[in-house]
Each structure stands twice: as structure tokens, then as C-alpha cells.
A and B are shown apart, each in its own frame.
Chain A
């Protein structure tokens, strides 16, 4: 869960907030209905909260730059150029993810970042496995288009 939150948000403070919100949401969900797969539920909730935070972040700071997370700096980095390139790519992808509809963004993250199966994703999102394929296809197409634009913007 921590990994999911941190991977999508990219800094320590937001990941901590997302971690907390996810557990509170999980508690509320547990009260409403019975849970069969807790790890999948936590992954989905963490993904949803993280995407919400990403949206808020990009909406709030369109003209600002992202604050650097100095705590995440590693001493054994590869070369700075490679690090900068990776950061640029991941930031672009995060921004594109924040523009997707929530369900598509969730499906994409659960499949490609959390390696969940179609069946698990379908169970979590309350849809059929075929619909997961459609969601993923749409998400990839939209992401690619948005990502190309953001990469051009960076260039």
C-alpha cells in the first residue's frame, strides 16, 4: 500500500496522507459491506486516493513546480542525467494519469503498476473481466495521447 501510494504520488508527505486516508476508507467500506479480498481492496483504495490527490495537486499547481522530496534522494544514484530523465517521464505519466477518468486510471494502475489480474480488477471495480480489457485499452490510448503532449511540452 505504501509502495502504491508513494509510486503514484512521488513524495513522502502525500504518500503518508494517502496511506491514512486509505485505511479510513477501508474501515468505512468494512462497515458497509463484507470484504473478500482485503489486499486487493487496499490496493484499489490506495490507488483511488492517490489519483484523487494527483488531480488536486495538478489542479492546484498548474503554474507551480512540484516541491522536491529531498528525503527520497538516494546516495547511490545512477548518473544525474538518467535520474532527471526518469523523473521527467514519471512526472509526465503521473500528470497524464490525473487527467484520466477515475475508473480507467484505477484499472491502469492496478494492472500495470500492481500486476493484478483482470479477474481481481473486475471484482474490485464491480465490472466484468471483458470490460476491464476495454477500460485498459481506452486508458492506454488516452494516456499515450496525453503523455505525448506532456513530453512535447517538456521538450
Chain B
């Protein structure tokens, strides 16, 4: 069985010495009859510059006292028109645009984009490249979830987990830097391979990370999972049923928290994910607490995949041998006539991709990331469309928040794990 139901803690953690709510509070606070105070609704504008919105998001709330009657998210403050810019660029020049979308897990975006182009162009990457990309994508899933964990803990008033998770994130930043030279804007992939092979000692560094990070996760677990404040702030808050979650287009941990075990890595596997041994964590209640538990468990599963990937990492070249796709080595380009011509053609003209369109879904840290590329046979895309998971997830916020308190709105927004870079693109 590749599905695992997360353990929903009800009650308090004796180690914490704090009373939790005994049972999840029921949804629908409007059921409680309140005296009609005849009060007027109030308009509150949150953001776009507000730390609790996790980015440049603006929420216009209609409040009745402290209860959210309605909330309208306004997006677009970070809109950079990446999709339009992509239509002016060659296929490889688009890679740097992709990591500026989800800057919290950039390597997943780098990999997903080139995977879609490779599929359309019919390029099969080398075995080593596949495993390296699996390693990078799983590492960045942990990277993205760690940021989510730290910032969400801050939203409910716990500061310590933020320090713990950012300490671990810093180590991943350093691994990014060792490999790509950049901490956030990695741009590590090229169509047909990677910009370089992994540097010496990188795998050893990763192994050390895998050995030590579970202790941190365990500590955060102990600090948060049974914590009365977290339980009180998240259980029964922002719940959504499985059927509605699918109808609203939820994907990723948000959908799985509602009990739907849909994971692109299992349902439409790429890069031999079907041969890795890992479980898909699912929740039962679909509330903020389940989303927290699912992400915590996903990090453990990603570490499992990483350990397996390191064991099976094969040798051999990382880029495809086709000279019309991959650049020749510098030595060859300088000494060999044919290599120099290929180098010149690839740099001045760019790669040509067969006409057609391709929608390639990848399980990103926020949900299903779809890369839709359309080619008319040229060196530039006719259309490059990104299906950003956060964009679809944040659209559900008004439905989740209606009827809750304004402080719960902040928690619900945090629990969706959004990044405005990819929402606005």
C-alpha cells in the first residue's frame, strides 16, 4: 500500500503541559445563534505589504465583528509577464525565468520546464540526469516545505521552529550554491541535461544533510504537533471536503489533506518514480491541521526518496550526446571543426523543437505544476504556459475563510502554502 493516513492528534501533549481543545471544533460558526447587534459590517484591507499574507497578496475582507463575511484576494502585484517574455526567447533562455516563479523551490521549476520541452522535442535524457533531477526536485520539496513550516509556525505564534527550519534551509541554500553558483536563482537545467555535473563532494554533503535533518524534524514535531495552541488554531479551521477540493482544483498536499491520494508522482509517474518506495500521506478532515501533518510526513517521504536515489545514482554522462541539443565541451569547440559549428549553431540560432504542444505535469512542493509548451517548429515557443499550483489553490481562500475569525483567515492563508511569484508570474 503506497498510501498512508496521517495521525490526527486529538487532545494534548503531556510534555507540553498545555490543554488542547478536546475535540475539533465544528465548522460553521454561523450555526451559533448570536444576538442581532445591528452592527455594520466593516471593510478591512490587508496587504499588499503585510508579513502575514506571505507575499505581495492583498486581501479585502468584509467583517462582522471579528467574523469574516467575505474576503476578496487581489493578485497581480508581482506580475512580470514571464509567459510573454518567454515568447521572445529561445528554449534554453527561458530556464532563468522559471526559477524566479517559485523562488522557494526553484529547482522543481527548472526541471519541470525542460522536461516539457524535452518531451515535445522527443529527447530522452541520460539515466544519470534523471536521477540527478529526482534528487534536486526532492531536495527542493523539503526546501519549500521547511519554509512553509517555519513561517506558518510564526503565524500561530511559535518562533522557535522558524529558527530550526531556516537553519536547515540555509544548508540547502549552500548546496544550491555549491552546485549552481546561486542560492535562489539556480537555473540549473538545460534542454537535454544539466548545466554541469554534480561537483565533487556534493553527494557526501547531501548524505550528511539526510543523516542530520530528521533530528530537526523530530524536534519541530515535538514542539508543534501536540501543541495546544497549534491544535486550537488549526483543527476544524478551513476544512474542505474531498469532492469540493477536487472541484476547486486543489492539488498537492492541500488536496491530499482532504483524503484524495492524488499525487502526480504516483498517478502519472515521470523519471521512474514508480520504482521508488515511498508513501503518499493523506488526511481525513481536510482542515489546516491535516495540511500541516501531510506536509510534515511528505518531508519524511522525500528524505526516503533521496536516500534511494543516492544509492542508485549511475555514472556516465549527464547531457545527451546529440550535438544538435547539447553544447560541446569547451575543448572540443576550440579544437574540433564540427563541434565548433554545432556550438555556433546552437548559440546563435538555438535549439529547434518539433511542432506540437505538450502539457507536462510535475508534483511540485505546492501542488501540481503543469508546463504547457506550444511550438511551431521554431527556436522559440509560440506559447509557454505555466499552470501554477498556488494560483488555483489561493482562489479557494474565500470559500475556506467565510464564517471564520479574522485570525483564522491568516492561518488558512498560511496553510495553503502559496508563493506569489508563481501566482502572478
Q: Do A and B come from one complex?
A: no
